[in-house]
Amino acid sequence: SKAQGRNRYAFFTNELNQSISRRLQIEEHLRAAIDNGELRVAYQPQYEVKSRSMIGVEALLRWNSSALGQVGPDEFIPIAEQSGLIVPIGRFVMQQALSDAMQWVAQEPQFKLAVNISPVQFRDEELADFLRQELERSGFPASRLELEITEGILMRGGPMVENTLATLHEMGICLSMDDFGTGYSSLSYLRRYPVDELKIDRSFVQEMTVDEADRELVSAAISLSRGLGLRVVAEGVESKEQLEALSEMECAVVQGFLLSKPVCAKEIDALLMQREWE
Ligand code: C2E
Ligand code: CA
Ligand code: CA
Ligand code: CA
């Protein structure tokens, strides 16, 4: 009936209003979050399967908002990207992570720091200059820094992207292709761009012990990276079965809740002392 239709309309607009206002609230509070010290960087260890030792970490941003409580990056990063706030936020992450990881790279000869860079950050013309300046200032070795980029960055391509990629490569910074397997034409990008590492998306890892197709895809990605001389990391490892399967496939590096959740810098200090994952 007409009345029902009207109610339904009211319901939907109400929901829409709520999601818009949540979005606006996040944007508003995120603006002040850096200055208010509400942002923290957590680190998730990456382990070499062969030696069972921690050989790096991925920096992951955390936001404990005084107004909104804990907000997850899956919710606020897209808003930070749309509003441009990701540029100052990304700089904060980089500075914090370089300073935290200084002693880890000094301690472990292979240790790498991986930092996520979203397409919007990548299109910032000053990215390479900013990185050069921060590496110089901190004394952090460029070869131990790895930028995790997604296909979105490469898909747009263009002279600016190519220039930035070439500059970063010249500087000795490593590039990791994040969420590998979820995009459309990853293979051609591997040929065209100086990528050092593939990161197999956790959606494949999580299904690999129950879904034959996913298992085949993970196995193919591992062989591919071996053939191309790239490092390979499986992310989202949650079970012993997954770890065993990956180990059989000779996957070099693993990351996931089974081994460690993302933790604060102090806990990485402690984990590095203990070195092995068990
Ligand atoms: P991502 O780069 O794919 O990061 C991996 C995500 O998987 C992280 O979620 C991590 O906590 C989670 N994870 C790790 N191991 C497991 C596991 O075994 N099982 C499951 N279910 N999840 C696992 P998180 O920290 O919530 O980050 C979500 C996304 O937000 C990231 O996805 C990344 O795209 C973005 N992000 C996080 N921090 C930053 C940052 O500093 N800068 C940028 N640009 N993006 C960031
Ligand atoms: Ca990595
Ligand atoms: Ca990542
Ligand atoms: Ca991922």
Ligand nearest to the CA of residue 236, numbered in listed order: 1
Q: How far apart are CA 145 and CA 249, in angstroms?
A: 27
pLDDT at 242: 97
Specify the residue with its C-alpha closest to ligand 1, atom 35: 73
Locate 64 and state its tokens. 């404990």
CB distance 221 to 232 below 8 Å:
yes
pLDDT one-digit tens code per residue, 237-269: 999 999 999 999 999 999 999 999 999 999 999
To test the ligand 1 pocket, which listed residue (44, 58, 60) has its Cβ within 8 A of the most ligand atoms? Answer: 60
Ligand at minimal distance from the CA of 205 is 1
Closest atom of ligand 1 to CA, residue 199: 3
How many whole angstroms separate alpha carbon 86 and alpha carbon 96? 15
**CB-CB contact of 93 with 61 (8 Å):** yes
Question: Which residues form ligand 1's pocket by a CB distance below 6 Å?
Answer: 44, 59-61, 72-74, 77, 90, 93, 116-118, 148, 178-179, 202, 235-238, 256-257, 262
Cα separation of 46 and 253, whole Å? 7
State the burial class of residue 238 (Cβ atoms within 10 Å of its Cβ: 0-12, 13-18, 19+).
Answer: middle
What percent of the chain has pLDDT above 90? Answer: 77
Tell me the C-alpha to C-alpha distance, in Å, between residue 159 and each of 39, 80, 112, 151, 185.
33, 25, 29, 16, 19
Residue 273 is predicted with a pLDDT of 85
Please tell me the chain's helix, strand, coil percentages from 3-state DSSP, rounded to the nearest 5: 55, 20, 25
Instruction: Please provide the size of the chain in residues.
Output: 278
Q: How far is the CA of 32 from the centre of ligand 2 (A)?
A: 30
Instruction: Give the C-alpha separation, 202 to 179, whole Å.
Output: 7
Quote the ligand 2 centre to 108 CA distance (angstroms).
Answer: 15
Distance, in Å, from the CA atom of 205 to the CA atom of 209, rounded to the nearest integer, reads 8
Residues with Cβ < 8 Å from 186, sequence gap 6 or more? 151, 177, 180
More confident residue, 194 or 28: 28
Q: What is the pLDDT of residue 151?
A: 83
* Residue of minimum CA distance from atom 32 in ligand 1: 74
**pLDDT of 148-189, one tens digit each?**
998 888 877 788 888 899 999 999 999 999 998 887 666 778
Distance in angstroms (rounded) separating the CA atoms of residues 175 and 198: 9
Predicted ipTM? 0.98
Q: Indicate if the pLDDT at residue 213 is higher than 90.
A: yes
Q: Which atom of ligand 1 is nearest to the CA of 262?
A: 11
Strand partners, 113: 57, 145
Predicted confidence band of residue 3 (pLDDT cuts 50, 70, 90): low
Going by alpha carbons, the residue nearest to atom 13 of ligand 1 is 236
Q: Which ligand neighbours the alpha carbon of 114 most closely?
A: 2
Ligand 1 atom closest to 121 (CA) = 44
CA of 148 to the centre of ligand 3 (A): 6
Cα of 14 to ligand 3 centre, how many Å? 35
The arithmetic mean of pLDDT across residues 87-94, rounded, is: 97
Going from the Cα of 32 to the center of ligand 1, the distance in angstroms, rounded, reads: 22
Window from 55-64, 101-110, 141-150, 267-276 with minimum mean pLDDT: 267-276
Ligand 2 mean position to 97 CA, how many Å?
14
Give the ligand with the smallest distance to the CA of 59. 1
Please, are residues 101 and 140 in contact by the beta-carbon 8 Å criterion?
yes
For residue 12, how far is its CA from the centre of ligand 1 (angstroms)? 31
Residue with tokens 């590492």: 197
pLDDT of residue 240: 97
